[in-house]
Amino acid sequence: MIEAIPTWAVIFDYVLGMVMWTLIGRFGMNIFLPETSSFFFMRFFVTVTNPLIRAFMPITPSFLIPALFPLYVAWFFFVVRFYAMPYLLGYSVMGMLSFPL
C-alpha cells in the first residue's frame, strides 16, 4: 500500500495541507483575537500566512472583507489538493466526489 503512492506526492500533499490548515487556523483565531494580538499563536499565524495572502491579493475580489482573506486563500489550496493531486498521481479527475466547475 505504501509503495502505491510516491513519496514526493505525500510530501507535496502534506505541505499543501499544512498551509491550508494554517490559513484556516488564522481565520478561526481572527474571530476571537485581532491580527495585532501579542498572543504567540496569533503572531505565528499572521507571520506565516501574510506572504500568502499578499500573493493572492491580485485575484482576491474587492467585495470580500479582510477577515475572510485567509479562508479564501485556503480554498485555493483545497482545490489544488482536490483536483491536482489525483491528476498528478494518474487518477481520473472527474469522479463521484468532484465539484462541477
pLDDT tens-digit map of 68-97: 999 999 999 998 888 888 777 777 655 556
CA-to-CA dists, residue 32 to 6, 35, 37, 67, angstroms: 40, 10, 10, 11
Whole-angstrom distance, CA of residue 73 vs CA of residue 27:
10
User: What pLDDT sits at residue 1?
Assistant: 55
Q: For a pLDDT cut of 90, what percent of the chain falls above it? A: 62
Residue 54 has pLDDT above 70, yes or no: yes
Q: Where are the alpha helices (DSSP H) in the chain?
A: 7-32, 40-55, 69-79, 85-88
pLDDT digits (tens, 9 = 90+) for 21-31: 999 999 999 99
Angle at 46 between CA 12 and CA 55, to 5 degrees: 60
Q: What is the pTM of this model?
A: 0.83
